[in-house]
């Protein structure tokens, strides 16, 4: 029996996800959402596995890296390096979203691209703000406490690794109108043109010794995979045999490039390696992406039928509702557990990575990481559902969009490349690196600094 003054009990996360899952329209491609969720889990498990700190005989903490300690484990990156799946899914989603926006343009609405892109940026960048705030504060506190600055940098670098992806993804998303137009006009020719450009860049880099040119492959490789998302949306992979053919061809190329060619087996960076396949991406990573795309698209009919199961679909919806939070905070949870273990006398850190005892202890450590991550999800997942109307619905000026996106991307890229921790100065924080994403958000008309740039609407 209830009374008027009683408050209704809060529904659990599963109940909310179940309600949202039931509301999904029948035409929704559930395989897109499933791949996005599965990819996040692969990233989390991969990071928790490959980062292997330990305490050496002198009592110093060493940032162990499993791929460098156990060379055979580099083969595992062919399954755990799933960033290509993100860009494949992104191509599908951006294609659907931008095509819908184009209909507004045809109806005479102005400023559609700027508003569309600003809203896409907001949904990606808003969950990053509390993370940057927290780690800037932690770096400052650790510096004031007298902690060795090298250890401060190690912790902040490890925790903030995930932000590099957002910088690149935002740039790829910004090119959606051009890349989708290229797909509609040239079809797979647009993909092969990008692949050819990536090959040329790698040849100039590896064979001719041209420095820094390979960074342009961040666009050639990832926009190339993004194009396959358009192909998927338009039904080019509707027959499973098409996907299997792409998978087989890409696998053969990948084996040729790595086993018999100059590229390393590992699809992420390995300490001490002369060549990295991911920073910046190489044609080996492009081949891996095509291989993965072919496989998951060949499995789509089976996967979509599998997702008719209500429980599995609800789990997929639940994961997608916290996907950015899990991605951004899983390494913070890892660092927290490592710090607690170190404070407790290095418990568990005296086991050298890759040994039998180390492997047997992985389930225990993974349980601890999950226990540390769950409260972070509870606190920060709500930021994925925050949406601030862009300047009260008014179109954002072009120059501000450009400057805002550049500020955000440079800030995120520098966070991953040089860290927010500073080797000098009183604060121990590179304040300009932390500030850039906030300034960019303000220029776009949302975020904590929205008020700095908000203008009173005209009376027109």
* pLDDT at residue 108, rounded to an integer: 56
What are the residue ranges in the chain where pLDDT is below 50?
1-9, 390, 392-393, 449-460
* pLDDT at residue 271, rounded to an integer: 81
d(CA 41, CA 36): 9
* pLDDT at residue 107, rounded to an integer: 57
Token pair for residue 98? 């931008």
Token pair for residue 359? 């492997």
d(CA 41, CA 327): 9
* pLDDT at residue 343, rounded to an integer: 82
CB 174, CB 405: distance < 8 Å: yes
Which pTM does this prediction carry? 0.87
Preceding peptide of 141 cis, ω within 30°: no
Strand pairing partners for 62?
Answer: 54
Q: Where does 18-162 show beta strands of DSSP type E?
A: 54-55, 61-62
70: exposed, middle or buried (C-beta count within 10 Å: 0-12, 13-18, 19+)? middle
């Amino acid at each position: 029996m209830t009374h008027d003054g009683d408050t209704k009990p809060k529904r659990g996360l599963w109940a909310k996800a179940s309600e949202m899952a039931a509301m999904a329209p029948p035409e929704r491609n559930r395989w897109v959402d499933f791949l996005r969720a599965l990819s996040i889990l692969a990233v989390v498990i991969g990071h928790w596995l490959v980062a292997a700190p330990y305490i050496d005989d002198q009592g110093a903490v060493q940032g162990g890296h499993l791929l460098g300690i156990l060379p055979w484990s580099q083969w595992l990156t062919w399954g755990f390096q799933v960033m290509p799946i993100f860009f494949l899914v992104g191509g599908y989603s951006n294609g659907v979203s931008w095509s819908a926006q184009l209909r507004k343009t045809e109806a005479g609405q102005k400023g559609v691209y700027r508003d569309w892109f600003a809203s896409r940026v907001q949904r990606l960048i808003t969950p990053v703000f509390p993370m940057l705030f927290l780690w800037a504060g932690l770096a400052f506190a650790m510096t004031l406490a007298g902690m060795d600055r090298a250890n401060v940098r190690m912790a902040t670098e490890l925790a903030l690794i995930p932000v590099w992806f957002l910088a690149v993804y935002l740039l790829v998303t910004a090119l959606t109108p051009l890349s989708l137009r290229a797909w509609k006009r040239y079809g797979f020719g647009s993909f092969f043109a990008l692949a050819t450009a990536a090959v040329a860049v790698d040849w100039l880099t590896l064979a001719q010794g041209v420095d820094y040119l390979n960074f342009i492959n961040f666009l050639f490789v990832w926009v190339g995979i993004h194009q396959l998302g358009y192909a998927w949306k338009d039904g080019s992979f509707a027959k499973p045999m098409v996907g299997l053919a792409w998978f087989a061809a890409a696998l053969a190329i990948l084996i040729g490039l790595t086993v018999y060619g100059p590229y390393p087996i590992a699809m992420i960076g390995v300490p001490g390696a002369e060549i990295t396949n991911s920073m910046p991406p190489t044609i080996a990573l492009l081949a891996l992406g095509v291989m993965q795309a072919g496989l998951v698209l060949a499995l789509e009919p089976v996967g979509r039928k599998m997702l008719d199961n209500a429980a599995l679909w609800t789990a997929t919806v639940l994961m997608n509702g916290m996907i950015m939070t899990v991605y951004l905070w899983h390494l913070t949870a890892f660092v927290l557990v490592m710090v607690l273990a170190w404070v407790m006398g290095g418990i568990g850190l005296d086991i050298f990575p890759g040994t039998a005892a180390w492997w047997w202890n992985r389930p225990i450590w993974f349980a601890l990481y999950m226990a540390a991550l769950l409260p972070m999800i509870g606190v920060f997942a709500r930021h994925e559902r925050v949406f601030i109307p862009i300047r009260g619905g008014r179109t954002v000026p072009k120059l501000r969009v450009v400057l805002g996106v550049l500020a955000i991307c440079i800030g995120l890229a520098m966070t991953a490349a040089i860290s927010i921790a500073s080797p000098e100065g009183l604060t121990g924080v590179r304040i300009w690196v932390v500030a850039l994403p906030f300034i960019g958000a303000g220029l776009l008309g949302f975020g904590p600094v929205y008020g700095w740039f908000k203008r009173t609407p005209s009376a027109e």
